[in-house]
Structure 1
Amino acid sequence: MSWQAYVDSHLIATGQVAEAAIIGLQGGVWATSKNFTLSTEEQKAIVDGFTNPDQIQASGVRLAGQKYFTLSVVGRTIQAKKAADGAVIVKTKQAILVAVYRAPVQAPEATPIVEKLADYLITAGY
């Protein structure tokens, strides 16, 4: 399956995720939903957020030019919020899944979808 199919079929198609991307831990966007562009600086900040959680908690995270406040960094998952919308960012062995949800969807609806895909990718070696 292509990386784009994971974004389209496993995240966007659920109706719980509005925008999504898969980025590599070593850099680069592997797949993204339409009109969701993560700059090189945004990608780096996301990757660095897992090695330096204090920084991302203090400054928040930017996704496609929009600033989100970091609510938590726990293990492999970063939770962020922007007004009624939010983001779930989950790290696998080689990649990071970035998913944005829009109200009325809330974190308890979107998070399990992103984490389930992350679990699958981890078992597949990614």
Structure 2
Amino acid sequence: MSWDSYVATSLVGSGHVSMGAITGFDGSVWAQTKGMNLKKDEAKKIYAGFDDQSSLFETGIVIGGIKYIFLGGGEFLKGKKGQDGVIVYKSNTALVIGIYKDGIQTGNCSSVCGKFADWLKDNGY
């Protein structure tokens, strides 16, 4: 199974994530859903935000040129744009990014992304 399949089945297939991606800490995009358009430099800035959240408070979480207002972080990062939002978890070697659209509960998206990040950790990623 490719990383694309994991994004399609484990994230978007849950019904609680509208679009998803898996990236390396270096910004390399392992997989992402069509239309997400996450760029390498955007993924690198998100990863850096786990260590220095002040940069995200200034720039927001940007994915495919769309800016989500950074709401905070800790175990995971979260942002909002209108009724849509983004959740980002970190595993040992990757970021799990989930975007949810209007009608999807933030907590459900967070739970799906968090469980997938845990699965990656358990499997050496």
TM value normalised by structure 2: 0.94
Query: Cα deviations across residues 84-120 of structure 1 (Å, max 9, x unaligned)?
Result: 1101001110000111000111211111000000111
Write the distance in 2 (CA, Å) between the matches of 1:102 and 1:27. Answer: 24
Aligned to 1:73: 73
Q: Which amino acid aligns with 1:2?
A: S
Structure 1's unaligned 5+ residue stretches are: none
Aligned to 2:45: 45
| Match runs of 1:20-59 below 5 Å | 20-59=20-59
Write the distance in 2 (CA, Å) between the matches of 1:80 and 1:124. Answer: 28
TM value normalised by structure 1: 0.94
Structure 2's unaligned 5+ residue stretches are: none
Whether contact under 8 Å (1:72, 1:79) holds in the other structure is: yes
- Aligned to 1:51, the other structure's residue is in SS state coil
Whether contact under 8 Å (1:57, 1:73) holds in the other structure is: no
Q: Does 1:7 align with 2:20?
A: no
Write the distance in 1 (CA, Å) between the matches of 2:30 and 2:40. Answer: 13
Whether contact under 8 Å (1:49, 1:56) holds in the other structure is: yes
Write the distance in 1 (CA, Å) between the matches of 2:81 and 2:28. Answer: 25
- The offset of 1:55, in angstroms, is 1.2
| Match runs of 1:87-126 below 5 Å | 87-126=86-125
Write the distance in 2 (CA, Å) between the matches of 1:84 and 1:12. Answer: 18
Write the distance in 2 (CA, Å) between the matches of 1:24 and 1:99. Answer: 15
Write the distance in 1 (CA, Å) between the matches of 2:101 and 2:35. Answer: 15
- The offset of 1:17, in angstroms, is 0.8
Write the distance in 1 (CA, Å) between the matches of 2:58 and 2:64. Answer: 19
Q: How many residues align?
A: 125
Write the distance in 1 (CA, Å) between the matches of 2:45 and 2:20. Answer: 16
Compute the RMSD of aligned alpha carbons: 1.1
Identity across aligned pairs (percent)? 33
Whether contact under 8 Å (1:86, 1:106) holds in the other structure is: no
Write the distance in 2 (CA, Å) between the matches of 1:44 and 1:27. Answer: 5
- Aligned to 2:50, the other structure's residue is in SS state helix
